[in-house]
Chains A and B, each alone.
Chain A
Amino acid sequence: MPATTPSLFKRITPQLLILAVVIGLNFLVFPDFFDVSFRNGRLFGNLVDVFNRGAPVALLCIGMTLVIATKGIDLSVGAVMAIAGATAASLVTDGYGWGTALLGALATGALCGFWNGFLVAVLRIQPIVATLVLMVAGRGIAQLITEGTILTFNNEGLIRLGAGTFMGIPTPIVIWLALGTLATIGVRRTALGMLIESIGVNEASSRLAGINSRVLLICVYLASGLCAALAGVIVAADIKGADANNAGLWLELDAILAVVIGGNSLLGGRFSIVASLIGALIIQSVNSVILLSGMPPEFNLVIKALLILAILVIQSPRVAHLIYMLRASGPERLPERQRPSVQEPKEDAL
């Protein structure tokens, strides 16, 4: 049910702490990191960049969180971004307005999501396999749309979605903040969130309780497709062209990572979109540290991997247990100090 403010805050505390640390690192390697200026009617600064560059992954992880909450996964979002970008680009180059292009892209995204949802919910194909199909085929489809070239365009309206501003704030930021808020309200002010969690924890029980798991599953993948399409349009608009080969490449993995850093279990169940969004910001901040530290680019991926590994290790139950043991080894051990998270039965009991 709707998360009350204190419990939401408690839920996202670890993510906020990690974000603070990574932002701190940014500040260490680049003392001007927090400088924000307002020029030509737009906010500038490294912090703004983190929010802006993080937009695609942030958008993706909104849908991905919902999919993962149902015990699923959507590997196709990167490819769907390419398809949607290509669709938007080809529509504007064909002379349609940016509104039509946006709607067209969203419709393709929805179609892709529906396809995934159909495979998972109706044909009962395992999500990882089902979405792999589109992950592989999707780029091919995008290439067919762009006819193998990088389809450039100069439609002002469309470009504004990626590079424009809204009241001085870069549009992508506004879009992901708005969609994130909308999605959070959408799942928590209705019963959707609980029903999705229920399916993710135990689909058989949920169905017997009268939940329409098939429709819900399809909706969740549909939502993921829509988020991916929006991300695809923003990326295309930003570079004023649709690149079928590279748009959204590997971003599905960043999106999954954001969800995991957000503390959501890949086994489904309880989820928090807000935590995932912070996860996305953490990933972008890590990218930013590497960039600002001026390290040779060939180190980028390795360092990113190490930083992320560190984040995941800190969040792992074993380390949590260790911290708990250290704390509990004090002189007296009162029941109130027992932490619930480490009291779980071991599931390996045979």
Chain B
Amino acid sequence: MTTPQAPLLHASGISKFFPGAVALDEVELKLYPGEVHALLGENGAGKSTLIKCLTGAYRRDGGTITLDGEDIDAKSTAESQELGIGTVYQEVNLLPNLTVAENLFMGRQPTRLGLVNRRQMNTQAREALLGYGLDLDPGEPLNSFSVAVQQVVAIARAVALSGKVLILDEPTASLDRDEVDLLFGVIRQLKDSGLSIVFITHFLDQVFEISDRATVLRNGRVVGERLLADVTQHDVVTLMLGRQLEATVQDRKAGKPGALLLEINDLAKRGMIEPFSMNLHRGEVVGLAGLLGSGRTETANLLFGAVQADHGKMLIDGREARIANPRDAVAQGFAMCPEDRKTHGIVGDLSVRDNIILALQARQGWMRPIPRAKVHEIAEHYVKALDIRLASLDMPIRLLSGGNQQKALLARWLATEPDVLILDEPTRGIDVGAHAEIIALIERLRENGMALLVASSELEELVAYSTRVVVLRDRHQVRELTGDEITADNIVHAIAAEPEKGAA
């Protein structure tokens, strides 16, 4: 990069206070035209808050923002869009009941004689999404698609709205490699046309792949701005955490699986997942690998009773178990952290404390409230054990940063001390430090005899903790890898291999 001229967008002295927390303390951010600027920091460092202050979603408590040398002060997100700042917020913020096309064009629908021209809108929407590798019917309601698709729609919308600046807050969290590549292609085009792009993610590989410069936040303060060409990943991590990240040596071969716990025989649901069979022992971590839409989440939901199987059976400790809904599953010692934490995980308006004890309380029944002291003890314990950053246990969970919400959900299920823990994308949105901690936690739970089933799109992660990996493709179980077979390469192979015979 040549040394740039004046910044396109310059925010300085940005402060934001929340009751009990200083989320941003005199933060400075300089975006030069034609650069991709990574915003890095741990969970709760203040990245999303900074974005919201820039775009007017929050009122800032101090600081100035200039765009093209002129002071701006967007009071709402609509105003910042008019200024040419397109944003994808961390929690996808679309209208799930409207169609894909309507979401894309909301507020700027093509019209004919003053009426919305639906056909044209749908055609344009389809074309726009093809650019991201999505071929779908834009006339369908948004909520009939997966989180990943919704995320792409949000990105496409923001890109279309961004005249000068495009802000992406963890846009790739639920995307596959291919979709990420397509997205990066779009970003490079925009960058060449002189836009500034802010990119937030916890995937450092992606940061180094696409970004030119990075600003690192810690506890609401800027701890450094670096040209990425000058630094290594290791430097960045150390800057983010304020300490060295110990290399986690994986030595999972220790300890062999315990007693057989769960036998799944041809469990299936028509149109959703083909017959699935598997045994699960205590002290075992089975990884579920596969592309988006390959049936990872569906399998998890099926086991947990979130969708009801119409075929096959399940034996727990040798006895046939009837699991018709999540309540049955919880009663049988199951637990599941779902993929989509906003709509299926957190109960946003309830306190962090209530959210943590929710599953345990539900299992105990309403007549036996968990005593306050006990609730406090449990909540405090997990906040400490998982290092959940919060101002108070009484704050609504939706105010926690994304990664901390994820940890609180994990706490909810650990509190029930389950026999079988199903994790669907457990590290989504979690920072590098916490990522290592969660992997260590999975390891620890396994050693203590829990049986885990973990669905993840991150292969390295699967390789790190799985004692067995089941590979899914097109809603079929295609392979099972054990022991030394478990490598990222083998998984990729199994995912990509032509559907020959001999699969599990």
Contacts and interface: CB of A to CB of B under 8 A. Distances in A.
Interface stretch (B246-254, B336-344, B480-488): B336-344
B349 A204 contact: no
A200 to B, nearest CB: 8
A212 B327 contact: yes
Given A190-B369, A208-B338, A343 B362 contact: no
Contact of A348 (B77, B87, B326, B336): B77
B19 A209 contact: no
A346 B89 CA distance: 12
The bracket for how many chain A residues form the interface is 35 or more
A206 B358 CA distance: 8
A191 B361 contact: yes
B362 A209 contact: yes
A331 interface: no
Given A1-B369, A191-B364, A338-B61, A343 B76 contact: no
B350 interface: yes
Contact of B350 (A197, A207, A340): A197
Contacts of B354: 1, 194, 197-198
A106 to B, nearest CB: 22
A146 B384 CA distance: 65
Interface string B238-274: 0000000000000000000000000000000000000
Given A1-B354, A205-B345, A349 B77 contact: yes
Interface string B11-41: 0000001110010000000000000000000
A179 B260 CA distance: 52
Interface string A311-350: 0000000000000000000000101001110010110111
Interface string A184-223: 0000011110110110011011111111100010000000
Nearest to A4: B372
A240 interface: no
Contacts of B366: 190-192, 195, 216
B326 A207 contact: yes
- Most interface-central of A189, A191, A335, A339 (chain B CB within 10 A): A191
A346 B362 contact: no
Contacts of B78: 348, 350
Interface in A262-289: 269-270
Nearest to B77: A349
Given A191-B368, A198-B354, A209-B358, A349 B93 contact: yes
A31 interface: no
Contacts of A99: none
Contacts of A216: 366
B343 A202 contact: yes
A216 B78 CA distance: 40
A2 interface: yes
Contact of A345 (B58, B365, B367, B412): B58
Nearest to A334: B17
B317 to A, nearest CB: 20
B362 A211 contact: yes
A334 to B, nearest CB: 9
A205 B93 contact: no
Given A205-B344, A338-B61, A191 B350 contact: no
A343 B365 CA distance: 35
B204 to A, nearest CB: 27
A216 B365 CA distance: 11
Nearest to A341: B19
A350 B106 contact: yes
B359 A209 contact: yes
Contacts of A204: 343-344
Contacts of B325: 207
B175 interface: no
A340 B349 contact: no
B412 A209 contact: yes
A165 to B, nearest CB: 35
B398 to A, nearest CB: 9
B367 A201 contact: no
Contact of B17 (A198, A211, A335): A335
Given A212-B327, A343-B19, A346-B77, A202 B347 contact: yes
B445 interface: no
A201 B342 CA distance: 11
Contacts of A207: 325-327
B372 A2 contact: yes
Given A190-B367, A205-B345, A195 B361 contact: yes
B168 to A, nearest CB: 14
A343 B49 CA distance: 12
Nearest to A321: B59
B17 A350 contact: no
A217 to B, nearest CB: 13
B313 interface: no
Contacts of B330: 209-210
Contacts of B361: 191, 194-195
Nearest to A333: B61
B372 A349 contact: no
Given A191-B364, A346-B57, A348-B77, A208 B349 contact: no
The 6 closest A-B pairs by CB, nearest first: A210-B330, A335-B17, A210-B362, A191-B369, A349-B77, A269-B349
Given A202-B348, A208-B344, 8 more contacts: A1-B369, A195-B362, A197-B350, A202-B346, A208-B306, A210-B363, A211-B362, A338-B19
Interface of B: 17-19, 22, 52, 55, 57-58, 61, 76-78, 81, 87, 89, 93-94, 106-107, 157, 304, 306, 325-327, 329-331, 336, 338, 343-350, 353-354, 358-359, 361-370, 372, 375, 412
20 contacts: A191-B370, A195-B361, A197-B347, A204-B344, A205-B346, A207-B325, A207-B327, A208-B326, A209-B326, A210-B329, A269-B349, A269-B350, A335-B61, A338-B18, A343-B18, A343-B19, A348-B78, A349-B57, A349-B77, A349-B93
